Amino acid sequence: MAVKESELKKGKLTLGADEAKVEFACQATSVMLSPDVTEDGDALEVLCGDSITPRAITAWTLKLTAIQDWEDAKGVIMFAFDHDGESIPFKWQPSETSGTWSGSVQVRAMEIGGEVNVRLTSDAEWPCEGKPSLTPPTPNGAPVKTGA
């Protein structure tokens, strides 16, 4: 099999639902879904010599870095501030030929401000509610048409 490489570019990041949904792809400089696996319990051996392994539990987090835009009432910084602690739907398409991940995240406020006279960014780590779902990419790498 030949090497295949993916690149985050020309993607979409949508937060909210219906009339309240907002596209933030032009503010994001980094977006990722990050799994964190923990084990529940210990391995356990039984008399016959067999053993069972601990149960793996995966928690997902939507991590992003965004250009600060606190002068925009509808920007990502104000969105995070206004919806801090709320469960909000998200859709993320890393590129125009990729699939789309979606689910709900618990929004948390982002840093506002920083050093004087530099481009400001803020990082966010928003826990997903359960495992995100994936709408697979179209065959042959054709651009994915979504309503997001």
CATH topology of domain 12-140: Elongation Factor Tu (Ef-tu); domain 3 (2.40.30)
pLDDT tens per residue, range 93-126: 999 999 999 999 999 999 999 999 999 999 999 9
Whole-model pTM? 0.83
DSSP state for residue 1 in the 8-state scheme: -
State phi, psi for 19 to the nearest 5 degrees: -65, -20
Is the separation of the CB atoms in 125 and 61 below 8 Å? yes
Residue 144: pLDDT over 90:
no
Residue 131: pLDDT over 70:
yes
Token reading at 139: 């065959």
Q: List the alpha helices (DSSP H) in the chain.
A: 76-82
Domain locations in the chain as residue ranges: 12-140
Residue 141: pLDDT over 60:
no
What is the average per-residue pLDDT within 29-48? 92
Task: Count Cα neighbours of 4 within 13 Å in the Cβ-side half-sphere.
Answer: 5
